[in-house]
């Protein structure tokens, strides 16, 4: 994680977080450990609990404890233990919170506790915090890390784009070349999956409900058609819409023998599992650790990871190179909240453009890529409104 490493080195010299208490409610993974170390290098006191007990890496928790960071998490802990840990982190009276789902910052608000700022990593967390803001109850600035360009574009398009296919391949060892992949949803995430599947030799068909996104898919040279028609063509079906019941009975009934179904959307509601069970009159059996075969009599359909988010359920989620930029956003958001607290309103705020650009610059540097700068003449031209010397 070279971007985070260079931030950590600067933090060590400048000590911008001297004495700040930062409480993080994030996935307890090796990538998060790097973030915690960057914060501590900057002079912060940091403590961590898990945003999702199922993703906690116990060995990482133990290593952080060895480094003197309190970690309140263990893999597979129950909801009561999880809740006790979030409460304990709030009891610690942090100055700044980092969340993945807003559990910690919402709890702090419910308790009427003071905090000088927070940063939020996911869409779901931001939705909750925006509702709090609409009700006039948000008492601190929150940096919407999820929406910076270096987080959203790279995380969704390149992170999920690659890791969703990786999860599918790990579960099935399918050859994509020569196969037809039907993709539901050509959003930030779907675009990544479509591009990568095409790169691996698959024919990609996109199903959309938004005319603009459908047009974009067509102009990106993918086939676009309604789901009923695509159901008869696909070898592999991937949903990534954020909606529910995207693949239903009428689609299952048209699919070919051996078709594979996977979901990369957040919740396991995109493939209607109840209806899939109903059409499987011949029963269901597990044929590989993450593959269930649904017997429709004359045909079999294969469901991956029980319809749960395939890149996490069958793979390892986003690669560290993607989390590097996401967590660089969090580290710089903490610094921003510390340095500018008095100028910031109590609302959900965009990540400042300078932070986004700084992260992109550091990432390019780590890739050994150099770019040009505007000449003084170009800068002046682009900032003026006159038209005198152009035809």
SS3 (DSSP) at 150? helix
d(Cα 174, Cα 238) in Å, to the nearest integer? 14
CB of 2 to ligand NAD, least distance (A): 22
CB of 207 to ligand NAD, least distance (A): 5
**Which residues contact ligand NAD (rule: CB under 6 A)?**
123, 156, 160, 184-190, 207-210, 213, 240-243, 246, 264-266, 309, 311
Nearer to ligand NAD, 74 or 153 (CB): 153
CA dist., res. 179 & res. 30, Å (int):
35
- Distance between CA atoms of 266 and 189, rounded to whole angstroms? 11
Q: Smaller CB distance to ligand NAD: residue 174 or 225? A: 225
The tokens describing 105, both together, are 């910052």
With CB atoms as reference, the residue minimizing the distance to ligand NAD is 187
- SS3 category, 207: strand
Instruction: Give the nearer residue to ligand NAD in terms of CB position, either 250 or 345.
Output: 250
Distance in Å, CB of 240 to ligand NAD, minimum = 5
- Closer Cβ to ligand NAD, 5 or 213, answer by number: 213
User: In angstroms, how far is CA 138 from the centroid of its own chain?
Assistant: 24
CB 269 within 8 A of CB 245: yes
- Which element (helix H / strand E) includes 120? strand 117-120
What are the helix (H) ranges across the chain?
A: 2-14, 30-41, 58-66, 79-91, 103-110, 123-134, 149-152, 161-172, 188-199, 211-219, 227-231, 249-252, 273-279, 310-313, 320-340, 353-366, 376-383
> By C-beta, is 26 or 64 nearer to ligand NAD?
26
Distance of closest approach, residue 312 Cβ to ligand NAD, in angstroms: 7
Q: Minimum CB separation from ligand NAD for residue 185, in Å?
A: 3
DSSP structure string for 309-363: -HHHHSS--S-HHHHHHHHHHHHHHHHHHHHHGGG--SSEEPPPHHHHHHHHHHH
Task: Decide: 73 and 51 in contact? Cβ < 8 Å.
Answer: no
If the CB atoms of residues 126 and 264 are measured against ligand NAD, the closer one turns out to be 264
Nearer to ligand NAD, 18 or 350 (CB): 350
CB of 242 to ligand NAD, least distance (A): 3
> Could you tell me if 169 and 149 are in contact, meaning their C-beta atoms sit under 8 angstroms apart?
no
Which CB, 5 or 266, lies closer to ligand NAD?
266
CB of 210 to ligand NAD, least distance (A): 4
* Dist CA 100 CA 55 (whole Å): 12
Tell the smallest beta-carbon distance from residue 140 to ligand NAD (Å): 25
Q: How far is the CB of 12 from ligand NAD (least distance, A)?
A: 32
Alpha-carbon span 249 to 232, nearest angstrom = 13
Q: Which is nearer to ligand NAD, 2 or 242 (CB)?
A: 242
């Amino acid at each position: 994680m070279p971007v985070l490493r260079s931030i950590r080195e600067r933090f060590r010299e400048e000590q911008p977080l001297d004495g700040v208490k930062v409480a993080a409610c994030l996935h307890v993974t090796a990538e998060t450990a790097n973030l915690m170390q960057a914060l501590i290098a900057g002079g912060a006191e940091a403590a961590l609990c898990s945003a999702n007990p199922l993703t906690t890496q116990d060995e990482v928790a133990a290593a952080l404890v060895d480094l003197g960071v309190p970690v309140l998490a263990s893999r597979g802990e129950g909801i009561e233990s999880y809740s006790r840990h979030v409460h304990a982190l709030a009891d610690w009276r942090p100055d700044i919170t980092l969340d993945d789902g807003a559990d910690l910052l919402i709890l702090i608000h419910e308790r009427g506790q003071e905090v000088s700022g927070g940063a939020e990593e996911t869409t779901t967390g931001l939705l909750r915090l925006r509702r709090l803001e609409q009700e006039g109850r948000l008492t601190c600035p929150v940096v919407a890390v999820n929406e910076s360009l270096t987080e959203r574009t790279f995380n969704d398009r390149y992170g999920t784009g690659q890791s969703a296919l990786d999860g599918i391949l790990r579960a099935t060892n399918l050859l994509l070349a020569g196969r037809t992949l039907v993709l539901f949803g050509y959003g930030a995430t779907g675009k990544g999956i479509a591009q990568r599947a095409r790169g691996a030799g698959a024919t990609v068909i996109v199903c959309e409900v938004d005319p603009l996104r459908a047009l974009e898919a067509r102009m990106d040279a993918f086939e676009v058609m309604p789901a009923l028609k695509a159901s008869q063509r696909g070898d592999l079906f991937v949903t990534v819409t954020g909606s529910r019941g995207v693949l239903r009975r009428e689609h299952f009934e048209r699919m070919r023998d051996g078709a594979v179904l996977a979901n990369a959307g957040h919740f396991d509601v995109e493939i209607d599992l109840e209806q899939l069970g109903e059409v499987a009159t011949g029963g269901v059996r597990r044929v590989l650790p993450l593959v269930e075969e649904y017997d429709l009599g004359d045909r079999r359909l294969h469901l991956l990871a029980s319809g749960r988010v395939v890149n996490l359920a069958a793979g390892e989620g986003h690669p560290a190179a993607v989390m590097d930029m996401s967590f660089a956003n969090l580290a710089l958001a903490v610094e921003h909240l510390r340095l500018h607290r008095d100028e910031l309103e109590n609302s959900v705020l965009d990540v400042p453009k300078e932070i986004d650009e700084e992260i992109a610059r550091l990432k390019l540097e780590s890739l050994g890529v150099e770019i040009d700068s505007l000449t003084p003449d170009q800068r002046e031209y682009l900032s003026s409104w006159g038209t005198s010397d152009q035809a």
